Amino acid sequence: MFIVSMLLCANGIHAQTEQTELNQVELHKQYLGTWKSEYKDTTVVFVFTPYGKGSLQSSCKISTKNKIIFQCRQVWAYDQNCNKMLGMQFEKTTPNITTYLCWFTSKNENETVQIVIRDPEHIEKAKEQWKEVFKSRDLFIQSHMINNKTVSVRTFMRVK
């Protein structure tokens, strides 16, 4: 993970603006708790808990008509070299591992991009990204984009 973070930050995939640096660890603590989104017949539940200093872990469960269709675990760790959170997602039913780079651009707005690592020399931003805007302590809006086009917008409410 250290090598990946060094490559991501050194590669300059996302240059931080010259604005006042935001405390990424404190801002990410807004996610702690259980979050739920329902749309049509589908329910998404995320549970975020602290994991060590400056890190989070989460589990995600997506179900349709009370049948689980997707489950994963995520680990998010702060990288002070680039002032962003690095994430890895492990899916339950497949050997897929997905990597992410995530950061707050303001105290209420967070951006996440999926990173594709083909080998240590080849890192690129994938076509998927998410933008989340906290409207209150207990509500955020998540936009999911593919190729810079919004494909879904979900409202997540804190349930615990």
Is 16 within a domain?
no
Give the pLDDT score at 21.
Answer: 85
Number of domains, the chain? 1
CATH of the domain at 133: 2.40.128.20
Is 148 within a domain?
yes
What domain range is 146 assigned to?
A: 21-158
Is 13 within a domain?
no
Tell me the pLDDT tens digit for each residue of 104-128. Answer: 999 999 999 988 766 666 666 778 8
The DSSP result for 54-76, as a single string, is: TEEEEEEEEEETTEEEEEEEEEE
In angstroms, the CA 82 to CA 45 distance is: 29
Is 7 within a domain?
no
pLDDT along the chain (160 residues), means of 10: 42 46 94 96 96 93 95 95 93 88 95 79 77 96 93 95
